[in-house]
Amino acid sequence: MIRHSSTRGVLAAALLLLVQGLALAADAFPFDRELLLDAAPMRPGQRMPILTVEENGAARLDLWCRTVPARVEISEMAIKIEPGPLPEDLPAMQSAGQCTPERVKADEEILAAFSQVTAWRRQGEAIVLEGTTTLRFRASDH
């Protein structure tokens, strides 16, 4: 009898650890995935800001017009994003009129918002970055 009780206890503990591990994995930051800013498109053009973070902390910030490399540190629910400088030149491979003055200004604003992010959380399927400005992302479907 004691043997069966201890075996059940061990199995219950193992099952609990497995369930907790799966819950933590579900809440883990989605590394190596394109995270698309959940915002209305800014016309003209179809480009939307995308955040991609590798497990080693290297990241790419595709903004409204330009792309910036970044360094990201994540621990539990805290996050720190250190973007590189905004390139002076606009990309050569953009459609005509895509980088309007409004989109260039939006690049500067979202880059500042990225640099002030201090926390992240999941909200359903979305990833929410919190700082002075809240940025909501969803996994890209392409």
Residue-wise pLDDT for 55-66, tens only, equals 999 999 999 999
Q: Are 140 and 34 in contact (CB under 8 A)?
A: yes
- Structure-model confidence comparison of residues 142 and 7, the more confident one: 142
**Helix residue ranges per DSSP H, 34-131:** 101-115
What does the pLDDT read at residue 33? 95
> Is CATH 1.10.10.10 what the domain over 31-139 is classified as, yes or no?
no
Please report, for the chain, the start and end positions of each structural domain, with discontinuous segments joined by +: 1-28, 31-139
Q: What percent of the chain has pLDDT over 70?
A: 77
Q: Tell me which long-range contacts 78-87 makes (C-beta under 8 A, separation of at least 24).
A: 78/118, 78/119, 78/120, 79/29, 79/117, 79/118, 79/119, 79/120, 79/129, 80/117, 80/118, 81/114, 81/115, 81/117, 81/129, 82/115, 83/111, 83/114, 83/115, 86/111
